[in-house]
Amino acid sequence: MNKTMFFLLAFVLLLSSISFGSVVKVEVSETLKGDIVTSGIKSSGNLFNFTLEFYNTGTIAYVASIRGDIYQNNTKIFTAWSNDETLMPGSRKNFKLLWYALDKGDYVLKPRIYFANEIYEADDIEITVNSSGKEVSYFGVKNVRTFYNKILLTLSNSNSSIGKIFVIPYDYPAGWIFEQAELAPSAEQSVYLDYRPTVFSEKPLTILVASEEGYYMKTLYLRRESGIESFILNLLFSVFNF
């Protein structure tokens, strides 16, 4: 082998070792961020519907929910929570909060987005209510059952001409979280409401059931069920999340 061929072969082997021996490491910094895309509030009579689209602008997936506090004369009178939603990096989700105004007056909605361990405070929204709510008698609530993280109740409705039905936990223990429900009309149906207490104790819960025509309220007393049936149902709720 001549010297030229020898040096050429050595050069090729050197390049090969550099190519296969080098590892390129790319790191993406972890950021926990989010931003509001759109938000707005609509009303039909005394029923108010606040919607918000939230965008995961970071690199970490998280679960988010929206909290809305209603104030009148600097006093908080109502708190609403949305359902939890999982947001992957780059994804967007829509959230909804419902409120039924019982009395006319001027109010302020203070929305906040909870994601991971962060809180995003959105702009306040001023609300003017021009009339008092109308109480109706065609709704009914019965057969309330309290489980580990869900409440089951039976909702009756004798008005077949109404549109959607809204179930709103209206007054409940401070520090607890209750989600809301939006339902198609039916003469009778079972309703599951997710809730998360800080420390559970037997407490009253006031449920407001509303349509665009009016509202119905009933105060219930929460007592967790025990026994084998309750154990099985709690297990099913936790495994299948229904």
Question: Per-residue pLDDT tens for 79-97?
Answer: 999 999 999 999 999 999 9
User: How many Cα neighbours within 13 Å face the side chain of 228?
Assistant: 0
List the domain boundaries for the chain: 35-129, 139-240
Q: Does domain 35-129 have CATH number 2.60.40.10?
A: yes
Section 175-185 average pLDDT: 94
225 or 37: which leads in pLDDT: 37
Region for 241 from its dihedrals, namely left if φ exceeds 0, alpha if ψ lies in -120 to 50, beta otherwise: left
Helix/strand/coil (H, E, C) string of the chain? CCHHHHHHHHHHHHHHHHHHHCCCCCCCCCCCCCEEEEEEEEEECCEEEEEEEEECCCCCCEEEEEEEEEEECCEEEEEEECCCEEECCCCEEEEEEEEECCCCEEEEEEEEEEECCEEEECCCEEEEECCCCCECCCEEEEEEEECCCEEEEEEEECCCCCCCEEEEEEECCCCCEEECEEECCCCEEEEEEEEECCCCCCEEEEEEEECCCCEEEEEEEECECCCHHHHHHHHHHHHHCC
The pTM of this model reads 0.81
pLDDT of residue 235: 57
For 139-240, CATH gives 2.60.40.10
Residue 183 has pLDDT above 60, yes or no: yes
pLDDT of residue 21: 46
| pLDDT greater than 80 at residue 30 | yes
pLDDT tens-digit readout, 58-72: 999 999 999 999 999
